[in-house]
Amino acid sequence: MRGRNRSPLILISAVLISSIIPIFTPLSLPSRRCLSLLIFSSILWVSEAIPPFVTSILILPLSVILGLFPGSPEISVKSAVAAFFDPVIFLFISSFLMAHVLDKYQITRKLASRLIAPSDDWFRFHLSISILCIGVSAIVSNVAASVLVTAMIGSNQKRALLTIAFACNIGGMILPIASPQNLIAIASLHHPTITFYDWMIFSVPMCAFGIVIAYMVLQHRFGSISALNRDDDIELSKTPIPQSPRNNVRFKFTPNDQIVVSVVVGITVLGWIFFDQILSQIFSHMGIWGIFTMSFLFAFGYLGQSDWQNGIPWHVVALLGGGLVLGEAVKVSGLLDAFHLPTHSSSWLIYNGTLLFVGLVANFLSSTVCALVTMPVVAKIGIAVEHPKLFVIAAAIMTSGAMSLPVSSFPNANAAAVALNQELTTRDFIRTGGPITGLIWLTLVTFGFVYGIVLGL
């Protein structure tokens, strides 16, 4: 009730702030209106005075009412709706359908039973969990992966939960479909377009560094003893490492069902990887290819109507759609052109500062919201210094790599939510996720920059 009572006050404040600030800016009328909408939606996203997906839904009619899209009212409405249902939305939907069908047919659990072998070595546990989280995230996004892997492990130890959370954050870097912020990043840059190959060739080494960094930090924090209490003054016995779920796995579907589902998912992912070389002339966008392949699972009864209703997080789809509308409005209204970028500085300094800014913002906002707010600006900076792909991909990876607080990402929030007798506190995340965030940023601005330039991104 207390939060509900504050909502009207926050809404009124958001309206006043977003109405007053643009008046004092030397912008054109469309740019001022767009700035008002940007400020208004950012305040509501951060404060959560109303559910974030409701804020995103409101962006669609508000962009039309404010006249942010050029042309007649009919053309303006069509432009806004087209932005909301950008093909990247269907890429997102198809990736979550894959997550759902792999979970429904227990394929992910079967994979876990093969990868997570019993061990008394935390390094082997960390490595197997990281590989599992990255693999699942690559197929079904790190949002679903964090829930699936946490359920598979069935442990509420601090170190185990942090290992899963950080591994899923790192897994969110691996492919364009591995996290919502990656899809937002791709949608923010139309020319040149970012391909699966562009993303993978840069992200794979970053994920490898991330796995090592996370292990080093967690080993330094916990060592070989159990998670300490929040006052760090009681040393407990050696941490029992969660064991394999191998013996508890029971499959109620036939192997043929699992084979068919695995083949369809595999073909979908392979199509995305080689999309530009093989399928781009036919399907035009990876999202259309994803929906095309997923339709076979519905057509032959592997998925049904209830799966369409319950297997897709429609609130996240709405959040992403509203962000796409806002990003397009920022472009067409001329607001983005009002940002004067320091292009006289070296590319490395601009790159360094951009990732530092994105990393700081992403620690305090959720990864998706951070990407919605920052990616249009990052794309413009990248274009200005003639390295758009490098800036956008690295910024998206930095968004996933920001994991200093429970609210920084969904995997972090999920870990905090499922912890029971060993409650994860903000201090736990700061002392582990904070150093990991800093080291990932350092990796990106040193090796990552040189590597990206060599790749020609």
Answer yes or no: pTM beyond 0.75.
no
Confidence of residue 285 (pLDDT cuts 50, 70, 90): confident
Residue 443 pLDDT: 94
Rounded to an integer, the average pLDDT of 386-408 is 88
Contact yes or no for 436/403 (Cβ under 8 A): yes
Confidence of residue 444 (pLDDT cuts 50, 70, 90): very high
Confidence of residue 51 (pLDDT cuts 50, 70, 90): confident
Rounded to an integer, the average pLDDT of 140-160 is 74
Residue 437 pLDDT: 92
Rounded to an integer, the average pLDDT of 253-270 is 81
Hey, which of 183-187, 264-268, 351-355, 410-414 has the most confident mean pLDDT? 351-355
Q: What is the b/e burial string over 231-247, where b = at least 16 CB atoms within 10 angstroms of the residue's CB?
A: eeeeeeeebebbbbbee
Mean pLDDT, the chain, rounded, equals 79
Confidence of residue 394 (pLDDT cuts 50, 70, 90): very high
Residue 391 pLDDT: 92
Task: Evaluate if residue 381 carries a pLDDT over 70.
Answer: yes
Contact yes or no for 157/384 (Cβ under 8 A): no
Task: Evaluate if residue 121 carries a pLDDT over 90.
Answer: no
Judged on CB neighbours under 10 Å (0-12, 13-18, 19+), 430 is middle
Residue 249 pLDDT: 42
Residue 113 pLDDT: 63
Higher-pLDDT residue of 236 and 115 is: 115
Rounded to an integer, the average pLDDT of 283-293 is 84
Higher-pLDDT residue of 369 and 174 is: 174
Rounded to an integer, the average pLDDT of 314-342 is 74
Confidence of residue 56 (pLDDT cuts 50, 70, 90): confident
Task: Evaluate if residue 143 carries a pLDDT over 70.
Answer: yes
Rounded to an integer, the average pLDDT of 209-236 is 64
Share of the chain above pLDDT 70, in %: 83
* Interatomic CA distance for residues 443 and 326, integer angstroms: 31
CA 120 to each of CA 117, 243, 377: distance values in angstroms, whole numbers, following the listed order? 10, 9, 47
Residue 31 pLDDT: 83
Range in 49-53, 89-93, 195-199, 415-419 the model is least confident about:
415-419
Residue 436 pLDDT: 93
What is the CB neighbour count within 10 angstroms for residue 25? 12
* Interatomic CA distance for residues 379 and 393, integer angstroms: 10
Residue 450 pLDDT: 93
Judged on CB neighbours under 10 Å (0-12, 13-18, 19+), 352 is middle
* Interatomic CA distance for residues 183 and 58, integer angstroms: 21
Instruction: Name residue 238's beta-bridge partners.
Output: 225
CA 255 to each of CA 107, 261, 267, 269, 359: distance values in angstroms, whole numbers, following the listed order? 10, 10, 18, 21, 44
Residue 238 pLDDT: 44
